[in-house]
């Protein structure tokens, strides 16, 4: 059996109702809706599994795809977000990087990253990531 046969999708597996053509050769297959697991395709080849239940992963995927030139309106339809929300994600990422994108920093409020850290301190995860991982390992 060849590699292509192993990776080939069964005929008709990509239902048109759950496959969104995003432009630039990209498509997003969401069999369980926009807040579940999905597959990102580029020119018909699966390139990434995405977990759209996770807000951070959804935001990072949106920015990554916009940087690759997909149609913003089509992406908004696929993710069931407004086009303005995607624009806000892109601007937050451009001004503040990944930290600004994940913590919801807004360039309209201020372009001072330190001010945003103080304003959004309550949104951050409390405690230490190391302690959380330790608790997960013991469970």
pLDDT digits (tens, 9 = 90+) for 61-100: 999 999 999 999 999 999 999 999 999 999 989 988 888 8
DSSP letter string, 49-107: EEETTSHHHHHHHHHHHHHTT--HHHHHHHHT--HHHHHHHHHHHHHHHHHHHHHT--T
Contacting residues for 41 by C-beta, under 8 A, at least 6 apart? 26, 27, 28, 29, 47
Cα–Cα distance list, 112 to 51, 88, 109 (Å): 31, 16, 9
Q: What residue numbers bound the domain in which 105 lies?
A: 12-124
Residue 3 lies in a domain: no
Count how many domains the chain has. 1
Residue 85 lies in a domain: yes
Residue 40 lies in a domain: yes
Cα–Cα distance list, 35 to 18, 49, 50, 110 (Å): 12, 13, 10, 31
Residue 134 lies in a domain: no
88 close to 42: Cβ distance less than 8 angstroms: no
Residue 129 lies in a domain: no
Stated pTM of the model: 0.69
Residue 28 lies in a domain: yes
Confidence at residue 118, expressed as pLDDT on a 0 to 100 scale: 55
57 close to 51: Cβ distance less than 8 angstroms: yes
Roughly what angle, to the nearest 10 degrees, separates helices 83-103 and 72-79? 70
Residues (pLDDT < 70) of the chain are: 1-17, 108-130
Residue 24 lies in a domain: yes
Residue 2 lies in a domain: no
């Amino acid at each position: 059996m060849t590699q292509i046969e192993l990776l080939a999708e069964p005929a008709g597996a990509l239902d048109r109702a759950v496959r969104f053509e995003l432009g630039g050769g990209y498509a997003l297959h969401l069999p369980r809706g926009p807040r579940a697991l999905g597959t990102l395709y580029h020119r018909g080849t699966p390139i990434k599994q995405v977990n759209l239940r996770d807000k951070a992963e959804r935001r990072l995927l949106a920015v990554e795809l916009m940087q690759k030139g997909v149609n913003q309106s089509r992406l908004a339809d696929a993710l069931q977000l407004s086009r303005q929300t995607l624009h806000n994600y892109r601007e937050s990422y451009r001004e503040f990087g990944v930290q600004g994108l994940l913590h919801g920093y807004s360039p309209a409020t201020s372009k001072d990253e330190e001010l945003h850290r103080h304003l959004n301190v309550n949104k951050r995860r409390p405690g230490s990531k190391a302690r959380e991982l330790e608790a997960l390992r013991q469970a």
